[in-house]
Structure 1
């Protein structure tokens, strides 16, 4: 009888554990689905124009290069593919950005299920909802958002590769690492600390005697070689861009001030999550609440994932004396929530998980409210029109009609400011190739000088800032440009005064 009762008790416990697991899985899926749907719908309803990074990526992506002035090519390729497939509908870009964030949540959750309990994995993943970088900026799909899922996937699959030592998983890890680098060079901030962990930790170091880690290295290197070749051929223009965006600061006080500003901004971005973490800390199960031990591989691994990327980035910044920009911190915090849960080990009862659910709801609703108010009322209050409310379609139609009113040939090229030339390139029915005026042909190698002479080009610039005359950087390259009457566009709260000039086609006479 005792044996029967014992067996019945075990069966009941197993069923209860299975039901709890299913409930937690359903909760995770529901939370992520809500995030994806809300942050896809909001920009669809409140924004009418593509953002700056999307416009720039689309101007690059149509040229199908192995690299671009600022970035590796994966983001421009992807946004070109999805917008072409959707017939220039922006919803697909908004959805793509949220699928990237959902992949981060999923990867962190999967790693959490490997190294913690089901409840801790759920909380560790959903804590990211309280990090600024995973909500408000994400409607602007760009290279930063695209790198995030590869960073999170790499953290998950590498742990799987180290613990299971299967060659296929090592190869997948190399593939993910390479795709992350094709998205953004800052993927190296994840690769380097985990490589150091492989050398330093005895559990991971044993794998160096097997072929797995070397297959990872071989796979990622071989797949990245085409872009490395492009970097050398281009004169390392994408590396130069980083230097221009973060010029060296020689005065130590100025550098320390910029470093303090960056760290303060990161703490502010993490603040909602840290407030929820304080609530979790009150639920710790023992007085020995900070449970971090180097000998425990899982805890060493999650510590390296959570703080390795930001540590590496700060070290490079200090050594080079180049300040980090605030948004460069966005992809570096994918595993901070799981680290906190692993460090605190809160006592997560069903009732306390409900409390966490309410806190998660607040952490989600506050950015949503701010986004809605910002989109609806900020332009009227500040007098500054948002780029996502710019009349890009009207601009493209207006200047394209002007071109065809003068020439019988297609509009094949547009040159000028990134924003205005990029809007013409994307929204014009003819999708002209773009040469951004700040870099000339060096940053636009797809421009054939002989073809641009034959086909002609349109020049466009911000006349409010640069005056009605053709800017020097354009005038020196297109000496035969003919100024046109300016284009005046009414925005929601701004009047856009744009300069325009035509470079006439050599083979076609004006009507």
Structure 2
């Protein structure tokens, strides 16, 4: 049986002349990868004056360098904090991080694809992935989903190399990728489970257990994840509690076990539909299974099928068993290898011209996503009564809060409290990387407390219109010495004529810690030393 790409090669010379050679296809892949990353870094950097919701959250978490946070494992927060610091306390470096992770997905697909059918075949698989919503429009949002997706893709590619090239270092690197993926988001376990299942069910996988490779993978991934596991035990598993609460949308009924997986699948159709539709010229409307495959080709097809379809089937199975709610964005990483699995499993049809058309249309789909982002950032605010998170006046709010505090205390605030979005913007976009006391709640900001804020001093910021009841009364009760400045109105960061945002700011001056007297024997044999 010929490789799928060979069906492309056997065309007349005139058509072949306008199609890139296999070597040129590899070059085109790298040019595409660079162009994709640049576009999705530059466009949001120029059109999004403020950080996205998740990026701001990641950076403020990263300020504290914890081994875990109440929602998620720590790695994305560490990366976001490091990148923001290197970028001069800005948010745009998170766009770079998001594209590095996305590029890892494209790289993984290309590297496996070229081994299956050559560079042109791999290029087609990558460009089909470009048409998927999760790999273009949503990549401006740096978060745990984006980070873990890149590590999962890299882990799959490295396991493939480990099984086909039989080199121990690929197993070790795959273990590191799985460990880092688990340090990003726990649903990386989906891919780990599929790896384990494949190694048990498939004959080639069982052969691997006769070597040290899988054990090296387990060891390296375990070492990466161990510090966070220790943190989980020490802190009574707060992330697991959050996950269970997030997936519980009320009383689970018998019908939930059917409706929830169906709702999740329906929510994914709009993400995967462009890939399936654009592939029709080369796969046909009615797919024909590849047959009479060699042992190598059969393994390659089986491998990408497991990782192309396995994640979504596993999510569906878990949802069916639990009846729990699964958010649509939790599907962000499950489609990475679906296009490659499709191309590897069905007979490729059509001529080179049709292949060219598919590639062009996929690139066009990516361009449309860029235009959609421009429309959302530049046009949509003119038709709404408020801006989005990326139009929030975070930098202006940080300046106002800092100036107000410096006028009273003479230095920059060390702690920023209040509803997490407002407080985090001040801390992340301010000149000094202050600690965030999110929601004034120690359960989600265990590094802070009322006493910590009183001793170190800081500001509390909030939007009165968004809070029911009197937030000011709560602040006065908990911080009796707080100084309230006049409310401040700030404009959205957009030319659209929108109602300004009203902010309230309270200043908490630092209070010296209570004195403690301890007896210390000095050189003369006595004396009290006062320690603050």
Same fold (TM over 0.5): yes
Q: Distance in 1 between matches of 2:207 and 2:474?
A: 58
- 1:247-267 per-residue CA deviation (whole Å, 9 max, x = no partner) reads 154134456444333211201
Superposition deviation, residue 433 in structure 1: 0.3
Report the more deviating stretch, 266-275 or 293-302: 293-302
Contact persistence 2:260–2:324 (CA under 8 A): no
Q: Distance in 1 between matches of 2:267 and 2:285?
A: 28
Report the more deviating stretch, 266-275 or 429-438: 429-438
Q: What is the 5 A alignment of 1:445-484?
A: 445-447=446-448, 450-466=451-467, 469-470=470-471, 477-478=478-479, 480-484=481-485
Q: Distance in 2 between matches of 1:224 and 1:472?
A: 43
SS in 1 for 2:138: coil
Contact persistence 2:26–2:120 (CA under 8 A): no
Superposition deviation, residue 365 in structure 1: 2.0
CA 1:168–1:498: 2 relative to 1, 3 Å: same
Q: What is the 5 A alignment of 1:74-93?
A: 74-93=75-94
Contact persistence 2:22–2:119 (CA under 8 A): yes
CA 1:162–1:379: 2 relative to 1, 3 Å: same
- Tell me, yes or no, if structure 1 residue 498 matches structure 2 residue 499: no
Task: Name the structure where helix makes up a greater proportion of residues.
Answer: 1
CA 1:394–1:291: 2 relative to 1, 3 Å: farther
SS in 1 for 2:68: coil
Q: Distance in 2 between matches of 1:472 and 1:180?
A: 43
CA 1:252–1:223: 2 relative to 1, 3 Å: same
- 1:322-345 per-residue CA deviation (whole Å, 9 max, x = no partner) reads 111111101111101101111223
Superposition deviation, residue 396 in structure 1: 0.6
Superposition deviation, residue 362 in structure 1: 2.2
What's 1:429 paired with?
Answer: 431
Contact persistence 1:72–1:184 (CA under 8 A): yes
Q: Distance in 1 between matches of 2:301 and 2:252?
A: 39
Q: Distance in 2 between matches of 1:72 and 1:310?
A: 23
Structure 2: any 5+ residue segments left out of the alignment?
1-12, 514-532
- Tell me, yes or no, if structure 1 residue 314 matches structure 2 residue 319: no
CA 1:472–1:120: 2 relative to 1, 3 Å: farther
Q: CA RMSD in A?
A: 2.6
SS in 1 for 2:433: coil
TM-score (norm 2): 0.86
CA 1:98–1:272: 2 relative to 1, 3 Å: same
CA 1:477–1:310: 2 relative to 1, 3 Å: farther
- 1:20-46 per-residue CA deviation (whole Å, 9 max, x = no partner) reads 221111221222222112111211221
Pick the aligned partner of 2:402 from 391, 400, 403.
400
Superposition deviation, residue 470 in structure 1: 2.3
Q: Distance in 1 between matches of 2:480 and 2:232?
A: 31
What's 1:6 paired with?
Answer: none
What's 1:52 paired with?
Answer: 53
- Tell me, yes or no, if structure 1 residue 303 matches structure 2 residue 305: yes
Report the more deviating stretch, 108-117 or 310-319: 310-319
Superposition deviation, residue 105 in structure 1: 0.6
Q: Distance in 1 between matches of 2:245 and 2:480?
A: 28
Q: Distance in 1 between matches of 2:336 and 2:500?
A: 41
Superposition deviation, residue 469 in structure 1: 2.9
- 1:334-389 per-residue CA deviation (whole Å, 9 max, x = no partner) reads 10110111122314654333212221232112212211112111111122311111
Superposition deviation, residue 74 in structure 1: 0.9
What's 2:202 paired with?
Answer: 201
Structure 1: any 5+ residue segments left out of the alignment?
1-12
What's 2:43 paired with?
Answer: 42
- Tell me, yes or no, if structure 1 residue 186 matches structure 2 residue 187: yes
